Every structure is written in structure tokens, then in C-alpha cells.
Chains A and B, each alone.
Chain A
């Protein structure tokens, strides 16, 4: 019983901007299926009234005060960038997407 289809893997790969070959789609579908199957076993023991866990530690309202803290200098901020120009990160042109 396939837990995840080949098409779903292809879709996820596209969303994640991963180049995946036809052969790899089969491989990953199989591997991901095993992982999902293992995770799905949790629902065998978790009843309907147990909500999915999003956080391992049961805490809430963890806040900081609205106080300035020193950050990075411009040069430090850009130090790890593959390309920079005029104090800004330079990125390849973006096609087909817009903010």
C-alpha cells in the first residue's frame, strides 16, 4: 500500500526546488513511504481526543521585552553572502514569482 504517490513526491520536490530524476522519484516514494508508515503508527495509539503535538515542551507565553539589542554591522551581515552590491544581498533574477 503506497503511503505517498510518485506524483506527490514530484510535487514536493518542485516546491522544495529539488531536481529529482524519474528514477529517484520511485526511490524517494518508497523511502518516504516507509517513514510515513512508521509515523502513522502513532495514530494507532493516539485516540481522537489527543491533539497532534507541535511543541515538545508544554510552555506558552515566552516573551522578550521590547528592548534594542546590538545586531550585525552591514559588512558582517553580508560576509556570508555569495554576492553583494550597494550594501545589499544580490540574488539571481526571480522569474514567475512575485511578492
Chain B
């Protein structure tokens, strides 16, 4: 056990007072192509082990890899969406190593000729400020197999008796997106890291190139963190934290490493350059492989794969397929719905933007749709402890409720009861209206009878109204609404009360 690992963490406020953090984020994204990068095996998640393999992805003698065109198109589209330059010519490279997660004893990757370089992604933080994250490169490679370590106590490699390998994932197209060093974020470094991965995930989802499921490993993030004392401009020694499997963990892992490294440095010791593992339950990192010597992967151009040379025409064709990107969409929505920057941000932060947009898409006016999602439905989601998009009501159902209110068939009070019914699993809004008998009572004769009986029950109030005290009508309206279980149109009831008292 090295002593540095047991150093006390420094208080976060003190960390950012004394040090400037430098971040580097590596995101691996599995593409959602039907087949693997270099062979026709399925990429589907969750199959029985070693049932989606062939001689090529098992590295058997005599097999020959052939590049999946769809995967190349996807990475070019990713590169374009990140404002990268697309290399006019690039090669694959062999990365040689002996870890058994690749049956070939090498991984096909790209080394010094990545297909996309020098881009950026503008990331908006919760407070509305924007940080431009510079992208160093995006390159193509193949995912590795999955190891299961048997024996020992922790399920980790140390102490394991042997390992079991499933190569279904070996060869799945994988894109690695690497940022340039991110400096100057100070205390915001952890939230910048999280916001970047979130923005990248949203972008990849909009492009439709990946499932971007962090829980299933189709989006993975390694966080590189180093500290330099305030005023110093040379980077400190960095650590690379792996196994960061959720957006929240990205933020926690960066924050933890900052406090840990600061503790080490404050004790006059040196940060060790190493790979560390993030532990979800404790929110801490622990040392993994030491990087005492630079890895020697003996990269060389992959002889089995001819170079990729995307023509300008092909690149432009692919650019034309780019969908509306998340930030373009947000700008359009802000314009179309006449929102202030703050209102838009609230919608985004509440996770309501897509839901409101879908409700509008289903025919509802944006104001009503927005109001339902951010107030009443947000309260219901909060009460149930679920994210807004997991409430059992669809945007189309909500749009129908809004339509019923607009046509006068439901009052606002009744509309809430209909929504409650939908949330309780009673069916569609129309089902709930029918089953609960919730249509607004618009038959005047029924209302007049109710008004008359309310006036008769409160003769003193009736007398006041007849004497000109119109404000007293409220009591009668209230009584009628109660008698009709809220199903009457209060405005119409009021009109009738005044009519009956003056005629």
C-alpha cells in the first residue's frame, strides 16, 4: 500500500483556492451499426456468450477484416457535428498487447492518423454560461471482449484464479473522442466534465449513431485529472480514472481526484501517474495499473486494411445528412416558443424540453404544454420520485387533455382529475373522462336547477345579491361547483346566478 493512497482528502474549497485543475476527457462510444467493425457479426447487446463471433473477430488464421462502411459514415458525421476536419487519407493501426480481451493479441485502432481532428463542442452549464471544449481527435477502433474474473474476493483482476472471456463485444465499432486539455475551469471542473459528457451524449443521440447507454457500456468515459498550483502554467502529473459509468459519476470522479491529488501534493508528495478505478458506491478512486514505463504497443499500419480516403464529395454528402443538432434545436425552440434564455434553461434542466416539444408536436400550444410539464406533472414526478419522462403519461395524451380544455369540454380542475386518472393507469384521457363522468356540465337547465337550489338554501346570500352585492355571488357559485363535483364551468355558473337574481 503506498502512503499517498491513504493521504487525507483536501477540503474542496481549499483545493480550488490553491490549485488549478486540468481535465482531459476520453469518451468511447459504441456505434449502433447492425454488424461489427470488420466482420458481419451482430452487435446486439445481451446475447449468450460467444454466439456473435466468427473467424475474423476471433482472430483465426486466414481471416481477413473488411471495414463496415456504415461505421465510417457514422464517425465522419460525428466529426462534422463536432466541427472537426476530416482527414483526406488515413490508416488503421495495430495496437499490440497481450491482454486476452482481444483474441488477436492486437486491437485494430487508429494511431497517428485519426479520421477526425481539431473540433469543438460548446457546452452550456446549468447557470447558463457556455464553455467551449476543444476536441483533439475522434478515431475508429474496435471494442474488446468482456472478461469475467473468477476466484478472489472482489471480482477484480487481482487475486483472481482465472478469467473467462466472451468475445461477442470484440470487434464492435468503437469511436474514441478525446478532448484537448481543458484548463481554466477552476471550481467548476467537475460540472464542466459532466456537462461535456451530457452534451456529447445528446449530440450522439441526435445523430442516431449510438444507443449512448452508459449503464450498458455503449458510452464510457475516462477522466484525466491533474492539478497545478495557482499561478503555475506547467501541467502536473495526471491520473486516468476508468469505470466511470454515469453522468453523475463523471462529476464525482473528477471532484474526488481533485481533493485526493491536492491532499497528496499538500503533504509534499508526488502524484503517481497511474490508471485508477472509480467505485460507484463510495464515490472514490483506487489505484489500478501503474504507468511506470510508457506503454509500448508497437503500433504499425494495419496491413490487412487499405487506407480510408473520404472524398470531399462523400464528406459533403454526409454533412447534408446531419439532423438538426441539439443546440440548433434549442435555438429554434426558444425562438418559436418566445422563451427567455432562463425559461429555456429551466426547461432543459427540468428534463422537460423533449416532452414539451413532443406535446407541441402532438398539437398542443407550447404555453399550455410547458405549464403542465414544469408545474403539475413535475410535482407528480417529484412525489413519485421518478424522472419526468418516466411518468406514465405520453405527450400525446397530455395534448388530448389540453385539447379538451380548449374546447370547453373540461375545466382546469377536471383536466387535473383526468391527468390523475391517466397517471393511475385508467387508460387514455377519453377513457378517464367517460369512466369517471368528468365532462363539464354545460347543459344550462341542469345548472339552473343547481343554482336555484343553492339560492334557496342560502336565502340571506340570495337577498344580498338581489340588493346589488354582486361579490356575494361567489358563495353561490362555490355551492354549485361543489354540488356538481367541479364539473360545471364556473364562469357560466356565475352568469346564471346573476341572471336568476336579477330576473
A→B interface (CB under 8 Å): 11, 15, 17, 54-55, 57, 59-74, 77-78, 80, 85-94, 96-99
Taking the closest CB of chain A, its distance from the CB of B60, in whole angstroms, is 8
The answer to whether B289 touches A97, judged by C-beta atoms less than 8 angstroms apart, is yes
Which residue of chain A is the closest to B290 with respect to CB atoms? A96
Tell me which of B53, B68, B310 contacts A71 (CB under 8 A). Answer: B53
Does any Cβ of A come within 8 Å of B40's Cβ? yes
Chain A residues in 8 Å Cβ range of B289: 96-98
Complex Cα distance A69/B167, Å? 16
Complex Cα distance A74/B58, Å? 12
Given known A-B contacts A15-B296, A88-B50, A88-B166, A66 and B288 have beta carbons under 8 A apart: no
Binding stretch for chain A, among B96-104, B438-446, B495-503: B96-104
Taking the closest CB of chain B, its distance from the CB of A36, in whole angstroms, is 15
The answer to whether A71 touches B41, judged by C-beta atoms less than 8 angstroms apart, is yes
Does any Cβ of A come within 8 Å of B147's Cβ? yes
Complex Cα distance A17/B69, Å? 36
Given known A-B contacts A69-B35, A89-B50, A99 and B101 have beta carbons under 8 A apart: yes
Does any Cβ of A come within 8 Å of B165's Cβ? yes
* 8 examples of A-B residue contacts, CB within 8 angstroms: A55-B306, A61-B310, A63-B66, A68-B34, A69-B35, A77-B58, A78-B50, A98-B99
Does any Cβ of A come within 8 Å of B161's Cβ? yes
Does any Cβ of A come within 8 Å of B214's Cβ? no
Chain A residues in 8 Å Cβ range of B167: 77, 89
Number of interface residues of B (CB under 8 A): 63
The answer to whether A67 touches B53, judged by C-beta atoms less than 8 angstroms apart, is no
The answer to whether B53 touches A89, judged by C-beta atoms less than 8 angstroms apart, is no
Chain B residues in 8 Å Cβ range of A93: 149, 151, 157, 160-163
Does any Cβ of A come within 8 Å of B67's Cβ? yes
The answer to whether A69 touches B39, judged by C-beta atoms less than 8 angstroms apart, is yes
B→A interface (CB under 8 Å): 33-35, 39-42, 48-55, 57-58, 60, 66-72, 89, 91, 96-101, 103, 144, 147-151, 157, 160-167, 275, 288-289, 296, 298, 300-301, 303, 305-310
**B interface majority secondary structure:** loop
Chain B residues in 8 Å Cβ range of A57: 306
The answer to whether B91 touches A90, judged by C-beta atoms less than 8 angstroms apart, is no
The answer to whether A55 touches B163, judged by C-beta atoms less than 8 angstroms apart, is no
The answer to whether A72 touches B53, judged by C-beta atoms less than 8 angstroms apart, is yes
Chain A residues in 8 Å Cβ range of B101: 99
The answer to whether B48 touches A17, judged by C-beta atoms less than 8 angstroms apart, is no
Chain A residues in 8 Å Cβ range of B66: 62-64
Chain B residues in 8 Å Cβ range of A87: 48-51, 166
Chain B residues in 8 Å Cβ range of A85: 150, 164
Which residue of chain A is the closest to B301 with respect to CB atoms? A54
Complex Cα distance A57/B305, Å? 11
Which among A72, A73, A97 has the highest number of chain B CB atoms within 10 Å?
Answer: A72
The answer to whether B301 touches A55, judged by C-beta atoms less than 8 angstroms apart, is yes
Which among B34, B67, B72, B164 has the highest number of chain A CB atoms within 10 Å?
Answer: B164
Chain B residues in 8 Å Cβ range of A98: 99, 157, 275, 288-289
Chain B residues in 8 Å Cβ range of A60: 89, 306-309
The answer to whether B40 touches A71, judged by C-beta atoms less than 8 angstroms apart, is yes
Tell me which of A15, A65, A68 contacts B42 (CB under 8 A). Answer: A68
Given known A-B contacts A64-B68, A68-B40, A88 and B306 have beta carbons under 8 A apart: no
Taking the closest CB of chain A, its distance from the CB of B100, in whole angstroms, is 5
Taking the closest CB of chain B, its distance from the CB of A19, in whole angstroms, is 14
Complex Cα distance A65/B34, Å? 10
Complex Cα distance A78/B298, Å? 29
* In the complex, the 5 A-B pairs of residues with the closest C-beta atoms, listed nearest first: A69-B40, A71-B54, A54-B301, A63-B69, A88-B164
Complex Cα distance A96/B97, Å? 13
Chain A residues in 8 Å Cβ range of B307: 54-55, 60
Tell me which of A74, A97, A99 contacts B49 (CB under 8 A). Answer: A74
Which residue of chain A is the closest to B54 with respect to CB atoms? A71
Complex Cα distance A27/B73, Å? 49
Given known A-B contacts A17-B98, A59-B306, A64-B68, A91 and B35 have beta carbons under 8 A apart: no
Chain A residues in 8 Å Cβ range of B161: 93
